[in-house]
Amino acid sequence: MSSNFVDVLVIGGGVIGLAIAKSFAAKGREVIVLEKENTFGSVTSSRNSGVIHAGVYYDKDSMKAKFCADGNRRMYEYCQKLNVPHINTGKFIVATSSNEIPKLEEIFSKAEYNGVEGIERVTGNYVTSKEPLVECIEALFVPSSGIVDQNSLMRSYLGELEESSGNIVFNSQFLRSEIHGEKYCSTVLSDGEEIIIESSVIINAAGLNAENIANNILPLDKKYIPKTYFAKGNYFETGKDLKIRHLIYPIPNDASLGLHLGLDLGMQVRFGPDVEWVDEIDYEVKKDRQVLFHNDVIKYIPSIKIEDLKAGYSGVRPKLKNKGEGKSDFSIQGEETHGIKNLVNLFGMESPGLTSSLVIGEYVTNMVN
């Protein structure tokens, strides 16, 4: 069995794993990223809304709140500097009934506390003047929200990693790791062959698979490994040009930000994601969800017809709380938590992970000596 040594081993080639890897490499560390699929970011990072979030919704002083506001500014700066395709669309968060106004006020308060810039309360008539198809009684306008091409962003991160002599290996599945002295000895199945990779540092950024990876790192105590729940998010699309140019979000619930109207860089409209709790990863968008989508969408776009909605794509989000248990935050655990030097586990890395990826990359790099 062949053996290789690398300074930093990053498990997971999604947007967060790549951001962490390029941050280490920029500091002169030798880095390899393990990715079990045949390309980068094909599991969670490319199966989402591609939104640059402002940091509006997250609980005060949570990791999500701290990372997102800074991440928003950093993301726009990065995309402009590196020519990553993006659009600063702005977003309306709409209340469609009077009983949603208290929740709108709560979101506004959180946003101000979290440092979201430029957010303002606007009337339903103002929203309709900007987006004639949208009906609501009041809304928040969030000017710093936008969209980014996720694949272009990840390709840029990978380019920076490789320019700093880092590398990513595809079709490479992490099996297990043990500490031998000052090194981690990790067994990896790469193109059907088991190899050993020795490293000084392990970063577990495996997304949906992070719990399983952590369970195979010895001697990590199992009490530090939270259960990961799978929240599938389905999307429906429309071929009609609705001429909508802002993101439109309803009032969120505990599990998600609501079944919102998103845009791609060509200004094509899509709706979603919803929340479908699943035990296994499955990307089929079931036709019977069309009715559920239509019932939600007509609350803020009454003119949309059910036949205008076509099944699109889906993604699965890793959550640390199950259905009915409320909101979950990121969990980023280093030596201060579990007592093992140079091991960082990232759990529950869902939205706003894309927006926060640059900040998370630097945060994790600074956790390691």
Domain check: are 234 and 285 in the same one? Answer: yes
- 61-76 residues labelled b (16+ CB within 10 A) or e (exposed): ebbbbbbbbbbbbbbb
Q: What pLDDT is stored for residue 3 in this prediction? A: 66
Query: Which among 319, 343, 359 is the end of a domain?
Result: 319
Instruction: Clarify whether residues 237 and 314 are in a common domain.
Output: yes
Rounded to the nearest 5°, which phi and psi values hold at 323?
-50, 130
At 189-236, the pLDDT tens digits run 998 899 999 999 999 999 999 999 999 999 999 999 999 999 999 999
Average pLDDT score, the chain: 96
Residue 75 within any structural domain of the chain = no
CATH of the domain at 23: 3.50.50.60
Using CA atoms, how far apart are residues 185 and 181, in angstroms rounded to an integer? 10
pLDDT score for 143: 98
pLDDT at 256: 66
Which of 264, 261, 274, 265 minimizes the C-alpha distance to 133?
Answer: 261
Grade residue 258 by pLDDT with cuts at 50, 70 and 90.
Answer: confident
Would residue 161 count as lying in a domain? yes
**Are the CB atoms for 299 and 253 separated by under 8 Å?**
no
Residue 282 lies in a domain: yes
| C-alpha closest to that of 345 among 230, 205, 207 | 205
Mean pLDDT of 166-193: 96
Q: Domain count of the chain? A: 2
Q: How far apart are CA 345 and CA 331, in angstroms?
A: 8
- The pLDDT score that the predictor gives to residue 255 is 57
Q: Do 356 and 26 touch, CB atoms closer than 8 A?
A: no
Residue 18 inside a domain? The answer is: yes
Residue 68 covered by a domain? no
CATH of the domain at 139: 3.30.9.10
Contact yes or no for 328/320 (Cβ under 8 A): yes
Nearest to 173 by CA among 189, 191, 193: 189
Mean pLDDT of 121-129: 98
Looking at the structure, tell me whether residues 245 and 125 fall in a common domain: yes
pLDDT in tens, 319-355: 999 998 988 999 999 999 999 999 999 999 999 999 9
Is 235 found in the same domain as 141? yes
Read off the pLDDT band of 30 (50, 70, 90): very high
- Please give the residue range of the domain that contains residue 171: 3-46+152-227+327-367
- Does the residue 302 lie in any domain? yes
Q: Are residues 272 and 346 in the same domain?
A: no
